[in-house]
Amino acid sequence: MSKVEGSTAQLQRRIADLERRLEEQKVCDYRNYETFTVAVTLENDFELYQRWTKRGKELTALFPEVQVEGGYSDACIKLGDEMKEWMEGYAPSCRVANIILTTIYKTLLNGALSSVDWREVAEQFLPEEGE
């Protein structure tokens, strides 16, 4: 076996391993727990559901042509970006006397929010074809 063949086989094993790990992280068909948590929360809060569904319809009207990037429409990408920005704007400020606890809290919260697949969440708020 040549070096190239060995490297290719090793790369294919690593890709398969990464795909397996991603599949193991899925929760109820969502990419990960963080995405699932955000999506379910937004879908089950009446006011937030109304807000994002309305915005999804507006963006679909603004971007009627489906120009897909990575499997997502322009309206979906824009809605996901808006949802992320909105959520980050409401991240609670930490007023804990202990600076170390404040840093840990902010780091964990930011880490969890950065794991959310905002486009996957946004898809739930776009109108179905024909709506």
- The whole model's pTM is what? 0.68
> CB of 121 within 8 A of CB of 80?
yes
> What is the amino acid identity at position 60?
T
Cα dihedral 88, 43, 55, 67, rounded to 10, equals 90
Q: Which residues share a beta bridge with 72? A: 69
Q: Where are the domains of the chain?
A: 1-30, 33-123
Chunked into runs of 10 residues, the chain (131 residues) has average pLDDT values of 66 71 71 88 92 94 74 88 87 60 76 89 85 60
Provide φ and ψ at 27, rounded to 5°: -130, 115
